[in-house]
Amino acid sequence: MIRPGNPVPDVSGPHEQAERSPHGQPRPEVEDAPRQPTAAERARTLVEGNSSPALVIPGLAPAPTTPLVPLRHSVGPAGDVFLLFPRESPAVRAVRAAADDEAAAVLEITDVAPVAVPYRIRGRAWVAGWLTAVPGGSFETGAELLRLEVGDISLDDLWGAAQVDPDEFADAAADPLAAHEAEALQHLAAAHAGEVGSLCSLVSGAGRCTTGAVPVALDRFGLRVRFRAEGGGFDARFDFPEPVDGLPGAQRALRELFAAARAD
C-alpha cells in the first residue's frame, strides 16, 4: 500500500510524540497520540471532501486511457457511494454489460494538500464494492447515476493505515471543517505565515525553525504544520483545547494557539 508522504526528520510536537512509518510519514504513538477523528470519520471525510476520486473496474475492456473520474459523487444515508458519470463513460457501459449482475469496482480517493508543500499527498482511501445503475436516478441530460454498494474500505493517511467497517462508515460523519479546510489553509499560508511559523516555539526538542512553515491539515481537533528547518523538515500537530464544530470555533482556537506561541 502506498504511504502518503516521504522521509522527513523526527518530529515532536506539543501534543504529539511521533514514530516513523516504514515510508517515513510521521505517525503518533498510541500512548501519547493526540485526539483524532476515527478511521471511519477520516474515510468519510475523504470520500465526501475535496479529494480526487477515480473509479477502477477490474477487467474492463478495452482499458480506459484516462482515469474514470465521476462528474460528482456523494454518500447516501446507508453508506452507499453515488457516482454521476457521462452516459457513454466506460463505467456506465460496464454496468450495462453486467446486465442483472453487479460489476466489481474500487473507488480510489487521493487527498492532496491544498497548499504548496513538498510531499503533498496527505492520504488515500480505497472503497471496494459492487456497482449498479440507479433507475431514474439522474436528472441531467447525458449523465447516469451509479451506486457503489460498499463492501470493503481501507485507508492510509497522516494518522496511519486502517481498515474501516462499512457499517461504521455509514454511521460516521465527515469532519465539520472539511468544506472549509482548503480555503482556511490557503489563507493561513498566505496571510498568517509568520504566526504559523511562530508555533515552532511550542515544539519541544524540535530545534530552530529557520526557513518557514506551512499548515498542511486542519480538522475539528487541531492543526498540523510542516516546518522547514536546518537539515530537513518535520511535521508537528497542535491540538485545540476542545474539538470545534465549525469555522468560527476553529478561528477562535487558532487565535489561542498563536497567542500561546507569542507568550512562550
Closest CA to 123 of 200, 49, 15: 49
Query: C-alpha angle 196/200/205, rounded to 5°?
Result: 165
Report pLDDT for 210. 64
CATH 1.10.10.10 fits domain 18-35+177-263: no
End-to-end CA distance of the chain: 41
Q: What is the CATH number of domain 39-171?
A: 2.30.110.10
Neighbour-count burial of 193, counting CB atoms closer than 10 A to its CB (0-12 exposed, 13-18 middle, 19+ buried): middle
Closest CA to 127 of 40, 62, 61, 65: 40
Report pLDDT for 208. 63
Query: What is the DSSP annotation of 49-100?
Result: SSPEEEEE-TT-SSPPSS-B--SEEEE-TTSPEEEEEETTSHHHHHHHHTTT
**Cell 515544539 found at:** 203
pLDDT per 10-residue tile (average), the chain, 264 residues = 30 36 37 76 94 92 91 96 95 88 92 93 97 86 94 96 98 96 97 94 71 92 90 87 96 96 86
What are the percentages of helix, strand and coil residues in the chain, rounded to 5?
25, 35, 40
Tens digits of per-residue pLDDT, 71-100? 999 999 999 999 999 999 999 999 998 877
pTM, full prediction: 0.83
Domain segments of the chain as ranges: 18-35+177-263, 39-171
Distance from the Cα of residue 35 to its chain's centroid: 16
The Cα 7–Cα 1 span in angstroms is 16
**Cell 511550542 found at:** 202
